[in-house]
Amino acid sequence: MNLHAMKLVTIVCESYAREPVTQLLRIVGANGWTLFPVEGEGSHGKRFADIQESANIQIEVIVPPEVSAQLLEKLSDELFAPYAMIAFESEVRVLRPGKF
Amino acid sequence: MNLHAMKLVTIVCESYAREPVTQLLRIVGANGWTLFPVEGEGSHGKRFADIQESANIQIEVIVPPEVSAQLLEKLSDELFAPYAMIAFESEVRVLRPGKF
Amino acid sequence: MNLHAMKLVTIVCESYAREPVTQLLRIVGANGWTLFPVEGEGSHGKRFADIQESANIQIEVIVPPEVSAQLLEKLSDELFAPYAMIAFESEVRVLRPGKF
């Protein structure tokens, strides 16, 4: 069994940001991700209403380390200003790396 | 691009525990979290019904390392006895640390 | 406060694979897990419809390191061929290890 060191990048954002984020994932070559509807409470103490228009989403994607750096930089440069969004990376060890 | 080493604390609990947990998050100074409805199967093999009253939730929050230790200690001391709950921390590297 | 080093194993798969995966979790001795309904976009660019039959799920389980290796190997050997599925592990530090 071969496990491969990869990065899990997690993005929490307004659902409005879904299309720009997933477009960016395609641009950097991420081949798959999962998307969760979440409730969130952010840095201003605002509770997001449980409705489609203002819902939050969490997107998780596994990428090689160099893609993680590129993805986080593009998120920071292009999407952090217009959208409520946070992003972080963590270490994972993956079966089936060819899927990513 | 600056990434900052932080802790991701994950709490899985009965939805009954939502208010005490989020109150504790505010007390330790956590400024934002995400909340997922989840299905769970716990250590007694009990399958939680898919209804609001007995549903499980997963709460994820990013905090500095010292806050993680404080949060886990308070969870253990104050909320583990009355509620079905588990908690764990992991390492993450975060953009926009000022948000946390 | 004692934190114990454990593995978080995450499995993303078609909801069809739910029973074989949870059966495997029981076989390796995992005592609890959480299950999230997720949307996914996989390596073939296919967007999974938001319907029960073809929905994706994400299952997360915390296990000791030796169980993680056994679980990942069995997933790879037994379930990767018949099902659309990815799996990865990461490091976590857990309160209440007796729960797992």
Residue B44 pLDDT grade (very low, low, confident, very high; cuts 50, 70, 90): very low
B56-67 tens-digit pLDDT:
999 999 999 999
Residues above pLDDT 90, as percent of chain B: 69
A27-72 tens-digit pLDDT:
999 978 999 989 877 654 444 433 344 589 999 999 999 999 999 9
The better pLDDT of the pair B31, A38 is held by A38
Alpha-carbon distance of A48 to B33, in angstroms, equals: 11
Burial B53-72 (b: 16+ CB within 10 A, else e): eebbbbbbbbbbeebbbbbb
Would you state the pLDDT for residue C43?
52
For testing the chain A interface, which of B15, B68, B99 should be mutated: the one with the most A CBs within 10 Å?
Answer: B99
For each of chain C's 100 residues, which pLDDT tens digit applies?
Answer: 789 999 999 999 999 999 999 999 999 999 789 999 898 776 544 444 333 445 899 999 999 999 999 999 999 999 999 998 999 999 999 987 565 5
Q: What is the 3 state secondary structure string of chain A?
A: CCCEEEEEEEEEEEHHHHHHHHHHHHHHCCCCEEEEEEEEECCCCCECCCCHHHCEEEEEEEECHHHHHHHHHHHHHHHCCCCCEEEEEEEEEECCHHHC
CATH of the domain at B29: 3.30.70.120
Q: What is the ipTM of this complex?
A: 0.84
- Residue A83 sits in which domain range? 4-99
B9-25 tens-digit pLDDT:
999 999 999 999 999 99
Q: Does the distance separating the beta carbons of C73 and A94 come in below 8 Å?
A: no
Q: Does the distance separating the beta carbons of B90 and C91 come in below 8 Å?
A: yes
In chain A, the number of structural domains is 1
